Amino acid sequence: MVIIMLEIQDLSKEYDTHMVLDSMKLHIQKGELFGLVGPNGAGKTTMIKIIAGLLEPDAGLVMIDGKRTTTKERRTHAKIGYMPDYSGTYPNLTVYEYMDFYTQMNGYKGKDAKKKIEENLELVNLYSKKEEYVDVLSRGIKQRLCLARCLISEPELLLLDEPTSGLDPRARNDIRMILNTLREKGKTIIISSHLLHDLSKMCSHIGILDKGKMITQGPVEDILQMEEQAKPLRIRFTEVNASLLKFLDSHALINNLTIDGAQAT
């Protein structure tokens, strides 16, 4: 039986006069690892924050597990876990102390808290780093720790905003393997990125968001086939510099790019 975990109908959000989400629709089945792809400014963070109940939309419906929800209900919804794009600083705590703090905030005490911390640190392969100070860990390890923290409340729908951004291939792979394990445990996961090829390696389904509209969504194979059939971008440059490549990358165009007669600088 198909269970729809998340359904969004006609979601709109405007900042001043700028329409960031424009009658957006989306449906995600239970157990999907859904990749939300779109260039910077497409509205991914706004959408994720609305689902997490951190932002009020101007219009539209967000249904969780078949039930209409208000923003406030989602903010405290036991089934929803939100992991922001975290680049902030960390207090002077070890990995274990950090997890202990959030585990207690979730109401766990004594043996239950210890079990919860150990289980989640093992899940993200960080148990061996439990005595290390968070501040000095790499970004990839911090992201895994954030994920472990997010899992304390045992959410069924996980919202991960750009968790692989700025990570090297190995750290991305670590995140990918953890997400696969979580999917096998029945979690529904939404992960955002501006890079299709990054998410296509790990997701079961992809949605392409552009200018606040979901242009298409479907199984990853279908989306990749569509991308292959799309006319490739063929450009002749005399010089390819880093800022141009960065621009193309940030607009998710680099995958489709053919460069003729170019000398990368």
Return residues touching ligand ADP (CB under 6 A).
Answer: 15, 20, 38, 40-46
Q: For residue 46, which of 72, 14, 16 has the smallest C-alpha distance?
A: 14
The distance of closest approach from Cβ of residue 57 to ligand ADP in the complex, given in angstroms and rounded to an integer, is 12
**Which of residues 15 and 242 has its CB atom nearest to ligand ADP in the complex?**
15
CB 19, min distance to ligand ADP, A: 9
Q: How far is the CB of 23 from ligand ADP (least distance, A)?
A: 16
Which C-beta is closer to ligand ADP: that of 101 or that of 247?
247
**Considering beta carbons, is residue 31 or 41 the nearer one to ligand ADP?**
41
Residue 45 or 143: the one with the smaller Cβ distance to ligand ADP is: 45
DSSP one-letter code for 140: H
Shortest approach of ligand ADP to residue 112 CB, angstroms? 36
Residue ranges of the alpha helices (H) in the chain? 44-51, 71-75, 95-105, 110-123, 139-151, 169-184, 196-200, 220-229, 242-250
Nearer to ligand ADP, 134 or 146 (CB): 146
Decide whether 44 or 142 has the Cβ nearer to ligand ADP. 44
Q: Which amino acid is at 162?
A: E
What minimum distance in Å lies between the beta carbon of 215 and ligand ADP? 13
- Shortest distance in whole angstroms from residue 234 CB to ligand ADP: 27
- Structure-token pair, residue 7: 């359904």
Phi, psi of 61 (to 5 degrees): -120, 140
Report how far residue 75's alpha carbon sits from residue 119's, in angstroms, rounded to the nearest whole number. 25
Question: For strand 205-210 and strand 80-83, is the pairing parallel, antiparallel, or unpaired?
Answer: unpaired
204: its two tokens: 């079961």
Q: Which is nearer to ligand ADP, 54 or 244 (CB)?
A: 54
Give the residue from 121, 169, 122 showing the smallest Cα distance to 146.
121
DSSP string for 224-238: HHHHHHSPPEEEE-S
- In the complex, the smallest distance separating the C-beta of residue 259 from ligand ADP, rounded to whole angstroms, is 26
CB 252 within 8 A of CB 223: no
